[in-house]
A and B are shown apart, each in its own frame.
Chain A
Amino acid sequence: MSGPREKDEVSGVETTGHEWDGIRELDNPLPRWWVWLFYACIAFAVVYWVLMPAWPGVHGYTHGILHNSARATVAEDLRALAAQRGAEGAKLKSASLEQIEADPKLQAYALAQGQSIFGDNCATCHGQGGTGGKGYPNLRDDVWLWGGKLEDIQHTITVGVRSGDPDARMSQMPAFGRDGMLPATQIDDLTEYVVALSHRKADAGSVARAAPIFQAQCSACHGPEGKGNQAFGAPNLTDADWLYGSDRTSIHDQIWNGRGGVMPAWGHRFDAATIKALAVYIHVKSGGGQ
C-alpha cells in the first residue's frame, strides 16, 4: 500500500496491485447500500452476542440473555417424540397380535419399533440380522425351540428361557457323559444314532446298539422319532438345523455336556406394547409362520 496507487489506463480505475498473467484487478468501490448492509451485519452480530450463547470462556461460555440451549431444545423434542409415540403405541396396547400383523399401518409401526428394540437388546446374542450363532437360536428360519406362533414368541420374550423367572421356559438336557450317566462307548453310539436321524450316513452297528438307549434316555423329550417337542423346548434332531453344530464332534460334545443357554425375561424391563411390537417384528421377519 505504499506509494501512489496504479491506475488502469482504459477505465481510469485504481487497481488493487494484484496481477495474474497480465490481468490486473480493478479496485472499484462497493455500492453504498452494500457497505450499509455490512455495518448492519456487524450490528446484528453484537445484538446476537447479547441474546444468544456466543463467547467461550475458561470455565464455560456466555449464555446470552435468552438462555437459548440446543441441548434443552433436543430434550424438549425428545419429550414431544415420547408423547407422540405414546399416542401411536396406544393402538399397540389394545390390538391383538394378529390384528397388529394384519393391519399394514400397525404392522409397519410395530416393525419399525421392533427393529430398534431388537437392535438395542436382542442383537447382542441373536445378531443384528437375527440369525443367531452357535448356542444362540436363529430367529429368521422356520425352526422354533419354544414355538413360532405369535403368542409363543410373545411368551418366550416375556418370561425368558432358564431366566430365573418363576414362569420361565425351562428345560434341561442332561450331561450324560460329564455326570457319568452313560458310559463313553454308549455316547459314541448315540452320536452315530443322532447323525443317522438327520438322514446322514452313519455306522450301522453303532445305530443298532444305540436304538434302545435312545428310546430309554432321549425319547421322553425328543420323541421316539427324534422330532423334538416344543412344549419342553426339545430340538428336532431330524432336520438340518443344529443349535450347537451338526458335525459328530459337536453332537458328541452336546450329549456329553448337555448345554442350555439362558435368555433374560424381558417382561421385567419392557411394557406389554413393546413386547408385542418385538414379537410381531420377529414373527414377520422369520417368514410370518411359514
Chain B
Amino acid sequence: MTVVINTVGSGSHKKVTGKGGGSSSGSGGSGGELYKKREPIYPKLVHGRWRTIKWLVLVATLGVYYLLRGVRWDRAPNAPNQAVLVDFTHARFYFFFIQLWPQEVYYFTGLLVVAALALFLVTALFGRLWCGYACPQTVSTDLFIVVERLFEGDRNARIRLDAAPWSFDKFWRKGGKHFVWLLIAVATGGAWVFYFDDAPTLMKNLFAGTAPMTAYISAAILTLTTYSLAGGMREQVCTYMCPWPRIQGAMLDEHSLQVTYRVDRGEPRGAHKKDASWEGRGDCVDCKQCVVACPMGIDIRDGAQLECINCALCIDACDEIMGKVGRPAGLIAFDTVAAVLAREVGQKPQYKFVRSRTLYYGIALALVSGIMLNGLMTRSSVAIDVIRDRNPTFIRLSDGEIRNGYTLKLMNRSNSGTTYKIDFVGPAGARVKAVGAESGAGALSVDLGPDGQRSLQVFVTAPIGDDQPHSVPAKFVIHSPAGSAEKKTVFLSGDEGR
C-alpha cells in the first residue's frame, strides 16, 4: 500500500519511512540488530464525531458481550432457558428461537462464510472499519486506555510519569491501573464461560469452587490474554500477530474509502503564524496532533500503511486544529486514493462504490446469506437418516422372499414428545418391520421424547423374482404432527446392478 500512495503527488512532500512508524522511523533495522525495541505509544484523548462513534460501539459491543448471558428465553420445561448457550454436555446450541444439533454444524460454517464475505465487502468499500471499531482487540485496548488515563492522566502526564523515578505517587498510579486492568480482564475472561453453562448456576459454582475445572482454566486463560493483549501488547497484536491486516490489504483498491491525509490540500506543510497568509502553502500546520492521537503510533501523512486500523481518531484531532486556525475541516478524512490523485491534477474526484470487486463480494454475500436464511426458515424439527445395512446387502429368506435391513436414525428437534409414523415406499408387496416398534397398517409407529433421537433397526421384506431389477429405488417417509421428512435409499435383491 505504501507503493500505491507513493505514486500520488510529486514526491517532494513524501517522507517515506520503512515501517511507517512516525515515532520509530529510522530504526528499521539499519544497524542489523537482532531485535527491534518497541517504541512506547501514548495516544492522546481526542473529541469529535469519530471518537463519539467509537465510544458508542465500545459500549454496545462490550454491553452485548457482558450482558447477553443474562437474557432468558422460555423454551420448554425440559430445555435450558438461557437465550444464548453452547451446551457441550448435551450437544446442543441455543440461540434465542434457534436450537441446533451437532449434525447441523454447516450453519456455523455458513455463518463464518457470511462473516468473512461481509468483512471483505465492508473493507473494499470503507477500509478496515472492523479493525478500527469492532474488533475485540481494539475495543478492549480502548477500554484499558480509559483506565490508564484515569490513573496516569493524558499523554503528556503519562510520558512524564514513565520518565520519572519510582515514587509512591508513581507506584500507586501504576499499581492501581494494573489492578483495575486485572479486574476487567477477569470480568472479560469470566464472561466467556457463561455462554457454555447456565450462567446463574455457574456463577454460584465459580465462587463456591465447585465449577468444572474447564471453566476455571478457560476463564484464567482468557483473563491472561485480555490482560496481556489489551494492556501490554496493544498495537503489537495488530501489527505482528494478526493476519487480518495482511488479508484486508488485498481487499483495498484505489476506490476504497480510507482514512486519508489529503496531500493535495495539506502540502507544503509548515508552521503557520496567526494572521499570516495561506497563499502558496498547504493547510497542514505540522502540529503533529494526528500523530499523538494515533493508537498505532504512525503518521497518517505518510500515506496508507499496514499499521493503520482506520479508527479515524486522527480525523477528529485534525478537524479540531483546522477549526482553531480557521481552515475548513477534512484535511484528514475518509477519502480514496483515486480522489486525492484526481484533485492533485485538478480534476473533480469520482467516487465509485459499485465496482466489480464490491459487486462480486455483494453477490456472494447475498447468495450465501440467502441460502442460510432459506435453510433456517425451512428447517424441519423432524429429521431422519437412513443407513443401509451393507453386510449383508440383502437376505434371501426360506420362502424365497428378499429382505433388506436399514438402520434409521430418527430425530425430534422440537421440545415436545411426538409419535412418528414411518412409511416405506419401494418394491410392490414390501412389508416393514422393526424390532422394538409397533407396526400396524403397513407403517411403523415410533415414540420420541422431546429433543430426542433414536436409532431403529428396520427390516423390509418383499417378494422379488429373479427376473426383476436387482436395485429398486425406495424411500422412508416420516409423518408427525410436527411435520414430515423423507430420505431416499434403495432396495437390493442381487449383487449385480440389473
List chain A positions with a Cβ less than 8 A from chain B: 5, 7-8, 10-14, 26-35, 101-104, 107-108, 111, 128-131, 138, 140-143, 236, 239-241, 283-285, 287-288, 290
Contacts and interface: CB of A to CB of B under 8 A. Distances in A.
Interface string B278-311: 0000000000000000000000000000000000
B240 A31 contact: yes
Given A141-B395, A285-B457, A290-B459, A30 B400 contact: no
Given A13-B18, A28-B28, A32-B38, 7 more contacts: A11-B28, A14-B29, A14-B32, A30-B34, A142-B397, A285-B457, A288-B457
Nearest to B457: A284
Contacts of B397: 141-143, 240
Which of A11, A26, A27, A30 has its CB near the most chain B CB atoms (within 10 A)?
A: A11
B78 interface: no
A11 B233 CA distance: 25
Contact of A287 (B32, B240, B433): B433
Contact of A13 (B28, B236, B395, B434): B28
Contact of B405 (A7, A35, A283, A285): A285
Given A29-B34, A33-B233, A128 B240 contact: no
26 contacts: A10-B6, A10-B16, A13-B29, A26-B18, A27-B29, A30-B34, A30-B36, A31-B240, A32-B36, A33-B233, A102-B436, A107-B436, A129-B392, A131-B391, A131-B392, A140-B405, A143-B397, A236-B398, A239-B399, A240-B396, A283-B435, A285-B457, A287-B433, A287-B435, A288-B459, A290-B459
B275 interface: no
B391 A128 contact: yes
Contacts of B435: 101, 107, 283-284, 287-288
Contact of A14 (B30, B37, B399, B459): B30
Contacts of A30: 34-36
B33 interface: yes
Interface of B: 2, 6, 16-19, 26, 28-30, 32-38, 233, 236, 240, 390-392, 395-400, 403, 405, 433-436, 454-455, 457, 459, 461
A13 B26 CA distance: 9
B57 to A, nearest CB: 28
Contacts, number: 117
Contacts of B36: 28-32
Contacts of A108: 455
Contacts of B405: 140, 285, 287
A114 B403 CA distance: 22
10 A-B pairs closest in CB distance: A129-B391, A288-B435, A239-B398, A11-B18, A35-B35, A29-B36, A29-B29, A32-B35, A129-B392, A131-B392
Contact of A34 (B28, B35, B400): B35
Contacts of A7: 30
Contacts of B391: 128-129, 131
A54 to B, nearest CB: 25
B34 A35 contact: yes
A143 B401 CA distance: 13
A287 B395 CA distance: 10
Given A13-B30, A108-B455, A290 B433 contact: yes
A29 B461 contact: no
A5 B35 contact: no
A7 B240 CA distance: 23
B433 A33 contact: no
A287 B405 CA distance: 8
Given A10-B16, A27-B29, A28-B29, A288 B433 contact: yes
A28 B18 CA distance: 9
Contact of B398 (A33, A35, A241, A283): A241
A284 B26 CA distance: 79
A167 B18 CA distance: 92
A12 B30 CA distance: 7
Contact of B236 (A31, A138, A142): A31
A189 B405 CA distance: 40
B405 to A, nearest CB: 7
